[in-house]
Amino acid sequence: MLSTEQLSTVLEATQEVAKRVGAFIRKERQHFDVGRVEHKGFNDLVSYVDKEAERQIVDSLSQILPEAGFITEEGTRSTKGEVYNWVIDPLDGTTNFVHGIPVFAVSIALMEKDELVLGVVYEVNRHECFYAKKGGGAFCNDTRIKVSAAPDLSASLVSTGFPYYNFDLIDRYLNSMKMLMQKTHGLRRMGSAAVDLCYVASGRTEGFFEYNLNSYDVAAGALIVLEAGGAVTDFAGGNDFVFGRRIVASNGKIHGDFLSILDEFWK
């Protein structure tokens, strides 16, 4: 197992990887060729930038922690490690990237068996590096961050993500939105779950929820929220939020009421 000091060293090196790959993504966006976009599925876009970014990340992380396995979005490497596994989204917010909307990020998490121990999210356009290690607090560009102190939903801004395929549960989703619109300052849709989670962690929003997400969308951001003093659960209030495809994050103070609204429509 990694000691606290070793984990700190790995975290520092991981930040550098995220920033370096983020610079590559930012440069490619300047002359991006939309004609080179591929479709993994309906409305599920991928580009050569995603694939090359992931290759660079995997190559670098393999040198930092050779014994670790990988869970990757683009399948660059999918060998599982016995103890440690990297969970990687090389470009969270690909659709934003393709259309030139400046909200997308590199997301890298490290799991020790079933536990999140390290998370880095580098928001490419604002040059914001959010990061955390288990038990060490959460930071953005070396400044400690904390969740908002807003006491209830009526003082809260909530973010979410819209489904772009698998619309079977869309009515539940829209009904949840209707209720939250009436009980909060409003809803926002950034287009990157990793960024959404970091905005909860830094107190810019009070809550985030979404369904049908993958582990690599949420793993890093979830740890950052927890280390910033927030709460993260699945829709039922349990801990199956990394692989369970349903996640709720908040400043903690609104979490119970937030879950109650979701429970009304997601039983």
41-93 pLDDT, tens digit per residue, is 554 556 789 999 999 999 999 999 999 999 998 888 878 899 999 999 999 99
pLDDT > 70 in the chain, percent: 97
Report the share of the chain in percent with pLDDT over 90.
Answer: 85
Q: What is the mean pLDDT of the chain?
A: 94
Rg (CA), the chain: 17
CA atoms of 196 and 204, how far apart (whole Å): 9
Q: Are residues 226 and 141 in the same domain?
A: no
What pLDDT score does 45 carry? Answer: 59
Residue linked to tokens 């287009």: 191
Q: Are residues 133 and 161 in the same domain?
A: no
Among 197, 186, 188, 204, smallest CA distance to 149 is for 204
In this predicted structure, the answer to whether residue 39 has a pLDDT above a threshold of 90 is no
Is residue 215 within 8 A of residue 71, CB to CB? The reply is yes
Residue 44 has what pLDDT? 54
Q: How many domains does the chain have?
A: 2
Helix (H, G, I), strand (E, B) or coil at 119: strand
Quick: pLDDT tens for 122-165.
999 999 999 999 999 999 999 999 999 999 999 999 999 987 77
State which of 124, 145, 166 marks the end of a domain: 145
| DSSP-derived 3-state class of residue 191 | coil
Check residue 169 and give its pLDDT.
86
Among 234, 223, 229, which Cα is nearest to 258's? Answer: 234
Token look-up 């995603």 returns: 50
Give residues with Cβ within 8 angstroms of 99, minimum separation 6: none
Predicted confidence (pLDDT) at residue 94 exceeds the cutoff of 50: yes
The domain in which residue 164 lies consists of: 153-266
Report pLDDT for 42.
52
Residue 223 sits in the same domain as residue 126: no
Provide the pairing of β-strand 44-46 with 38-41: antiparallel
Residue closest to 57 by CA, chosen among 106, 103, 100, 12: 106
CATH assignment of the domain containing 174? 3.40.190.80
Mean pLDDT, residues 8-25 taken together: 98
**66 plus 158 within the same structural domain:** no
pLDDT for 156-181, tens place per residue?
Answer: 999 999 877 778 888 999 999 999 99
Tell me the average pLDDT across 4-22: 98
CATH code where residue 108 lies: 3.30.540.10
User: Do you know the residue count of the chain?
Assistant: 267
Q: Which of 106, 116, 26, 42 is nearest to 72 (CA)?
A: 106
DSSP letter assigned to residue 238: S
Are residues 134 and 198 located together in one domain of the fold?
A: no
First to last CA, the chain: 39
Determine the pLDDT at residue 43.
44
Tokens 């969308």 correspond to 217
Q: What is the DSSP letter of 217?
A: H
Last residue of a domain, one of 115, 145, 175: 145
Residue 40 confidence (pLDDT) = 63
In sequence order, which residues have a C-beta less than 8 Å from that of residue 126 and are 6 or more positions away?
102
pTM recorded for the entire structure: 0.95
Strands (E), the chain: 38-41, 44-46, 69-72, 84-92, 105-112, 115-123, 128-133, 138-140, 143-145, 157-160, 186-188, 207-211, 231-233, 246-250
